[in-house]
Copies of this chain bind each other. A is one copy, B any other.
Amino acid sequence: MTKTISKIIRRRHKIASKAGMAPGTVAYVGSKRDFKVTAEIFSYNETELIHKENLNPLTIKDDYKPDEVKWINIDGIHDTEVIEYIGKTFCLHSLAMEDIAHAEQRPKLDDYEDYVYLVVKMIDYNEQTKEITTEQLSVIFRNNTLITFIEDKGDLFNGLRDRIKKGNIKIRKSGADYLLYSMLDIIVDNYFLVLEKIGDKLEEVEIRLLGEPMKSDVNALHGLKRELIFLRKIIWPMRDVIGLMTKADHKNILPNTQLYLRDVYDHCVQAIDTVETFRDLTSGLMDLYLSSLSNKMNLVMKTLTVISTIFIPLTFIVGVYGMNFEFMPELHSVYAYPLVWAFMISITAAMLVYFKKKEWF
């Protein structure tokens, strides 16, 4: 239940562990990982395609050809040697290298004169653990080259790889800017998948809250609220990043691609809209739950009050005739007992009528 909060704290922890180092030091900040970092290279134009997998990243060279789009993908950012090698090979600023190795950043876009550095967050929904997972993607975009650094093995881009391999005309004809757009499009589309899951859970909680709410429902609601807080932290800056790309005037982003990016921007805004709507709904559901608790309390109290109000006076009456005084004339009358019963029955009837009128049961 408390995993989201610990995620935020863990994040902080890593940064904290860095506090004190000289700025500009390339040091891995993130969860412990030890798989071998590998590289993958696509270089293609309309007619040709070269695809190499499982390369040793330290063999990559900056062999830029203007008529070719090149996508270098590095899986894993925990090997600082690799990042430093790539950084040196492609003349990256030390700050960019530091940022690549830092898995706990806020989405941002840094414009270094001849290249652009981009951090975005991929999110996914793990069906097994019923949890949202996040992974960081760093992108260096220079001329017709795209270098991507992915935090962990496994990403959302297999469909994209297939499209390149199968010779999708649009992608093979366009430059690296279009490739970058395709990635962002996939990432933002995936936000909706995750939002849908949250929406499903929200609907379940709502149905239960409109019926007979239980304590577990409010805990679930609290969990959803935290997940939304968490998503908001990711999607809001994402919007700014894409907004910057649509406005900025990067020589390598063609006007046509800007049109496409504007479309991704619209989707991002829609995702934010949905997050905010869901937040509104959760706070409405919290109110509903609290009012439902009060309602149940009222019901319980009414039951108690009806029972007590009827039987406590009756118990008093029978108590009266249980007294042992020597001189109680009523005790000796033949009619006394039935009369007492009649009296008690009429009191009870009167009270029931009264409570009925007050709609207490």
* A interface with B by C-beta (< 8 Å): 1-2, 5-6, 8-9, 12-13, 15-16, 18-24, 93, 95, 99, 105-106, 108, 110, 112, 159, 163, 168, 170-171, 181-182, 185-186, 189-190, 192-193, 195-196, 199-200, 202-203, 206-207, 210, 212, 215, 218-219, 222, 225-226, 229-230, 233, 259-260, 262-263, 266, 269-270, 273-274, 277, 280-281, 284, 286-298, 300-305, 307-309, 311-316, 318-328, 330-334, 336-337, 340, 359-360
Partner pick for A300 among B233, B298, B318, CB 8 A cutoff: B298
Partner pick for A311 among B112, B203, B298, B313, CB 8 A cutoff: B313
Which residues of B have CB within 8 Å of A323?
A: 318, 321-322, 324, 337, 340
Label chain A's interface by main secondary structure: helix
Which residues of B have CB within 8 Å of A328?
A: 324, 337
> Is the Cβ of A324 less than 8 Å from the Cβ of B315?
no
Q: Which residue of chain B lies nearest to A196 when distances are taken between CB atoms in the complex?
A: B12
Partner pick for A291 among B290, B324, B325, CB 8 A cutoff: B290
15 example contacts (A-B, Cβ-Cβ < 8 A) are as follows A2-B203, A22-B168, A23-B185, A23-B260, A110-B259, A110-B262, A212-B359, A222-B284, A229-B277, A294-B294, A297-B301, A311-B312, A321-B324, A325-B330, A325-B331
**Chain B min CB distance to A324 (Å):** 5
